[in-house]
């Protein structure tokens, strides 16, 4: 078997074991037994199980990076909302198709391995930075309101993690319907137009009806 194909085989089986047993309960014997390879073959490609885990994290980051495309403006380009919709569909389709990897990332127990904890933290920090860069670009293009983009990026990441963690244990959902819900929440929140208008009025001059006091 070609070297790259054998390496991919080890990663594929390791992903299944990590998802089922968790990182800390998995050992190399589990991985080579699942992959049906000799221990020596494993060490041709990886130094230890942490090396395998890091490769899986890097795979996810590469996949997500290719799926989040920069918003483009121009008369021949789709609307910004449609481009956001396409980005969301690509990302959600990937994470829901890779449910084992989702389980590994979301349910990894911290406190047992400080180096691995740092790598997981760095992984999420890089995702948050990608979101923040997109928000910063949106502000520059006047598509996103001025805001603390670092804090908002973390809010978005936290919401997506919670949603994906929930969906990873649910029956398959209609991706298009899910994308619309997430997009509408991101663009409009949950407030009705009257609430948003009242809030804007109070923020502008401190006057106007107190929307929250209505019966």
Rounded to a whole number, what is the largest CA-CA distance in the chain? Answer: 74
Distance between CA atoms of residues 62 and 9, nearest Å? 18
Long-range CB pairs of 112-120 (<8 Å, 24+ gap) are 112/24, 113/24, 113/50, 115/50, 116/23, 116/50, 116/53, 119/54, 119/57, 120/57
User: Domains in the chain, please, with CATH?
Assistant: 3-173 (1.10.357.10)
Q: Write down the pLDDT at residue 203.
A: 60
**CA-wise closest residue to 10 among 52, 59, 66:** 52
Q: What is the pLDDT of residue 167?
A: 82
Q: Kindly report which listed range (67-71, 178-182, 203-207) carries the lowest average pLDDT score.
A: 203-207
Does 212 have pLDDT greater than 80?
Answer: no
pLDDT band at 3 (very low <50, low <70, confident <90, very high): confident
Query: For residue 10, is pLDDT > 90?
Result: yes
Q: Average of pLDDT values for 93-103?
A: 83
Residue 193: the pLDDT is 66
List, in sequence order, the alpha helices (H) in the chain: 3-21, 28-35, 39-45, 49-67, 80-97, 99-106, 114-140, 149-167, 175-188, 193-205
- The pTM score is 0.71
CA 48 distance to own-chain centroid? 26
Say which residue, 189 or 13, is predicted with more confidence: 13
Q: What is the pLDDT of residues 158-177, one digit of tens each?
A: 988 888 888 877 888 889 99
Per-residue pLDDT tens over the stretch 29-87: 999 999 999 999 999 999 999 899 888 888 887 888 788 887 787 889 888 888 888 98
The pLDDT, as a whole number, for residue 139 is: 87
pLDDT band at 202 (very low <50, low <70, confident <90, very high): low
| Distance of alpha carbon 122 from alpha carbon 17, whole angstroms | 23
How confident is the model at residue 205, as a pLDDT?
57
């Amino acid at each position: 078997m070609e070297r790259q194909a054998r390496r991919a085989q080890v990663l594929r089986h390791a992903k299944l074991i990590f998802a089922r047993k968790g990182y800390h309960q998995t050992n190399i014997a589990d991985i080579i037994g699942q992959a049906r390879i000799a221990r020596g073959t494993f060490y041709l490609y990886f130094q230890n199980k942490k090396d395998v885990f890091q490769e899986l994290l890097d795979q996810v980051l590469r996949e997500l990076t290719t799926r989040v495309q920069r918003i483009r403006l121009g008369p021949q380009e789709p609307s910004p909302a449609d481009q956001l919709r396409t980005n969301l569909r690509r990302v959600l389709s990937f994470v829901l198709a890779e449910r084992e990897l989702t389980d590994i990332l979301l349910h990894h127990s911290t406190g047992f391995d400080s180096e691995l904890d740092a790598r997981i933290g760095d992984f999420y920090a890089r995702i948050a930075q990608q979101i923040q860069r997109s928000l910063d670009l949106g502000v520059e293009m006047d598509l996103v309101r001025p805001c603390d983009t670092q804090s908002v990026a973390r809010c978005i990441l936290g919401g997506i993690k919670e949603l994906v963690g929930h969906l990873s244990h649910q029956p398959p959902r209609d991706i298009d319907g899910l994308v619309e819900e997430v997009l509408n929440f991101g663009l409009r929140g949950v407030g009705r137009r009257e609430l948003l208008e009242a809030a804007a009025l109070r923020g502008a001059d401190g006057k106007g009806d107190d929307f929250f006091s209505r019966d």
